[in-house]
């Protein structure tokens, strides 16, 4: 009888998913949800064939060199900027992510954050709870309109398209977008979205939503010069990744009312949040929860598990992010 593959689950996940994986593999699970250092992660992965990761564990050349048996890392996230993809490929390790299953949920949240930001909902709730609501005022917590305004989207992948459809079809918004590659005409028509340059997007958007993947080139895509191009009445929403926005520059622009407001679900160095953002009234802050509904988190966990089961069962990954080199694992260095 051949030995069962061994896998490591790096964070606490649904017990039902741990159970399902245990039917296929010898599982070491971190159900206590300890946060391991890179050295602890490497020590636990050293004798494993597969890893279930959640997007916050860095998988790089140094780690892979310490894990000669490793053949697959399955991320429970659509973003995989925690992977050094080239290092995975060179080491002959398959990486996978969880696209599609979170698209609509994440687009819902992006739209909710846009509305909360433009209509000042967090500030309004705080005002009421603090007992400050004593009378009517003509401009009390007056915000920006969403219907019939111009929605700008930077990064027009699956989630960006979901936000565009919600804006165009649900709220009659004029949708413009910028992306590395322009969408085909049929997809643009479905989203009722018009392709523009990045400069035009910054200048014209009443609400700008960031949904691009985080790569080295995307670092500080929105910094002081870009914020200076935006309308003073504009709102900015980031549901992509921390690091795409220069948070210090954003805090300064919000403080000076260079732009009106921001809604942020992701932060540079999260779970730390730039202290200047915490002090501002015109920013809505949420703790990276855009995909967090119970059914969607379960679908993401199931898809990561399905990738491990299919790949280690010899059937190939379902949602691969790389094509690993066929180098034997012992050649890793
Ligand atoms: C995840 C996300 O919750 O899928 C992504 O890329 O940002 C979120 O849905 C997060 O990465 C942890 O899994």
Model pLDDT for residues 270-326, shown as the tens digit of each residue: 999 999 999 999 999 999 999 999 999 999 999 999 999 999 999 999 999 999 998
**Same-domain check for residues 35 and 168:** no
User: Could you count the other beta carbons within 10 Å of the beta carbon of residue 28?
Assistant: 15
DSSP alpha helices (H): ranges in the chain?
15-22, 38-45, 61-65, 85-90, 103-118, 121-129, 158-165, 171, 185-191, 198-204, 224-229, 247-255, 275-278, 294-312
Interval 149-207: pLDDT, tens:
999 999 999 999 999 999 999 999 999 999 999 999 999 999 999 999 999 999 999 99
Q: Which of 241, 268, 297, 332 is catalytic?
A: 241
Which pLDDT score, from 0 to 100, does residue 37 have? Answer: 95
Q: Is 274 in the active site? A: no
The CA distance from 44 to 33, in Å, is: 14
User: Could you count the other beta carbons within 10 Å of the beta carbon of residue 265?
Assistant: 24
The CA distance from 161 to 143, in Å, is: 25
Residue 1 is assigned to a structural domain of this protein: no
Residue 115 is assigned to a structural domain of this protein: yes
* Structure-model confidence comparison of residues 98 and 328, the more confident one: 98
Cβ 321 under 6 angstroms from ligand 1: no
Q: Which of 158, 270, 274, 298 is catalytic?
A: 270
Mutate to test the pocket of ligand 1, among 79, 81, 96, 214 (most ligand atoms within 8 A of CB): 79
Query: Which ligand 1 atom sits nearest the alpha carbon of residue 80?
Result: 6
Residue 263 is assigned to a structural domain of this protein: yes
The CA distance from 9 to 29, in Å, is: 5
Residue 88 is assigned to a structural domain of this protein: yes
Cβ 57 under 6 angstroms from ligand 1: no
Q: Which of 4, 6, 274, 288 is catalytic?
A: 288
Cβ proximity of 177 and 196 under 8 Å = yes
**Same-domain check for residues 47 and 183:** no
Say which CATH number the domain at 254 has: 3.40.50.720
Mean pLDDT of the chain, nearest integer: 96
Which pLDDT score, from 0 to 100, does residue 331 have? Answer: 53
Strands 261-264 and 235-238: parallel
Query: Which ligand 1 atom sits nearest the alpha carbon of residue 77?
Result: 4
328 pLDDT band, cuts 50/70/90, is very low
Which pLDDT score, from 0 to 100, does residue 276 have? Answer: 98
**Same-domain check for residues 110 and 47:** no
Q: Specify the number of domains making up the chain.
A: 2
Cβ 211 under 6 angstroms from ligand 1: no
Per-residue tokens: 271: 């779970």
**Same-domain check for residues 200 and 125:** yes
Per-residue tokens: 162: 């979901």
Cβ proximity of 7 and 49 under 8 Å = yes
Q: Is 241 in the active site? A: yes
The CA distance from 259 to 144, in Å, is: 12
Q: Is 119 in the active site? A: no
**Same-domain check for residues 264 and 305:** no
**Same-domain check for residues 52 and 136:** no
Residue nearest to atom 5 of ligand 1 (CA): 77
**Same-domain check for residues 86 and 142:** no
For residue 237, the enclosing domain spans: 103-285
Burial (0-12, 13-18, 19+ Cβ within 10 Å), 14: middle
Query: Which ligand 1 atom sits nearest the alpha carbon of residue 76?
Result: 13
Which pLDDT score, from 0 to 100, does residue 125 have? Answer: 97
Which pLDDT score, from 0 to 100, does residue 23 have? Answer: 98
The CA distance from 276 to 246, in Å, is: 12
**Same-domain check for residues 256 and 134:** yes
Cβ 99 under 6 angstroms from ligand 1: no
Per-residue tokens: 113: 């954050």
Q: How many residues does the chain have?
A: 333
Q: For residue 261, what are the β-bridge partners? A: 235
Query: Which ligand 1 atom sits nearest the alpha carbon of residue 292?
Result: 3
Which pLDDT score, from 0 to 100, does residue 327 have? Answer: 59
Q: With 80 as the cut, is the pLDDT of residue 80 above it?
A: yes
**Same-domain check for residues 131 and 156:** yes
Q: For residue 105, which of 321, 332, 293 has the smallest C-alpha distance?
A: 293
**Same-domain check for residues 75 and 134:** no
Residue 145 is assigned to a structural domain of this protein: yes
The CA distance from 290 to 284, in Å, is: 13
Residue 120 is assigned to a structural domain of this protein: yes
**Same-domain check for residues 75 and 200:** no
Pick from 247, 266, 285: which residue ends a domain? 285
Residue 107 is assigned to a structural domain of this protein: yes
Residue nearest to atom 4 of ligand 1 (CA): 77
> Residue 32 CA to chain centroid, in angstroms?
24
Cβ 77 under 6 angstroms from ligand 1: yes
Q: What are phi and psi of 314, to 5 degrees?
A: 85, 15
Which pLDDT score, from 0 to 100, does residue 315 have? Answer: 97
Task: For CA atoms 317, 322, 324, 329, give the dihedral sign.
Answer: negative
**Same-domain check for residues 88 and 109:** no
Rounded mean pLDDT, 252-269: 98
Burial (0-12, 13-18, 19+ Cβ within 10 Å), 44: middle
Q: With 80 as the cut, is the pLDDT of residue 330 above it?
A: no
Residue 49 is assigned to a structural domain of this protein: yes
Residue 94 CA to ligand 1 center (angstroms) comes to 19
Which pLDDT score, from 0 to 100, does residue 2 have? Answer: 74
265 pLDDT band, cuts 50/70/90, is very high
């Amino acid at each position: 009888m051949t030995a069962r593959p061994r896998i490591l689950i790096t964070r606490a996940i649904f017990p039902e998913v741990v159970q399902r994986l245990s039917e296929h593999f010898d599982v070491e699970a971190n159900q206590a949800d300890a946060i391991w250092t890179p050295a602890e992660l490497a020590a636990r992965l050293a004798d494993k064939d597969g890893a279930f990761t959640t997007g916050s564990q860095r998988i790089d050349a140094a780690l892979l060199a310490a894990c000669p048996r490793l053949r697959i890392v399955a991320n429970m996230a659509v973003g995989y900027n925690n992977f050094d993809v080239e290092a995975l490929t060179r080491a002959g390790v398959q990486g996978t992510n969880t696209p599609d299953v979170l698209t609509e949920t994440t687009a819902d949240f992006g739209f909710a954050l846009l509305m909360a930001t433009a209509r000042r909902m967090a500030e309004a709730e705080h005002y009421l709870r603090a007992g400050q609501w004593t009378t009517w005022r003509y401009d009390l917590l007056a915000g920006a309109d969403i219907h019939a305004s111009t929605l700008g989207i930077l990064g027009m992948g699956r989630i960006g398209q979901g936000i565009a459809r919600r804006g165009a079809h649900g709220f009659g918004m004029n949708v413009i977008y910028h992306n590395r590659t322009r969408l085909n005409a049929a997809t643009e028509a479905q989203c009722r979205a018009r392709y523009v340059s990045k400069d035009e997007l910054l200048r014209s958007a009443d609400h700008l939503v960031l949904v691009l993947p985080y790569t080295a080139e995307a670092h500080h895509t929105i910094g002081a010069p870009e914020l200076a191009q935006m309308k003073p009445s504009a709102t900015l929403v980031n549901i992509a990744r921390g690091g795409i926005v220069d948070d210090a520059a954003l805090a300064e622009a919000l403080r000076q009312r260079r732009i009106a407001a921001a809604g942020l679900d992701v932060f540079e160095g999260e779970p730390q949040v730039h202290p200047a953002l915490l002090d501002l009234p015109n920013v809505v802050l949420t703790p990276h929860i855009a995909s967090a509904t119970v059914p969607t988190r379960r679908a993401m966990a199931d898809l990561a598990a399905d990738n491990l089961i299919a790949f280690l069962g010899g059937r190939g990954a379902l949602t691969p992010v790389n094509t690993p080199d066929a180098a034997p694992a012992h050649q890793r260095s």
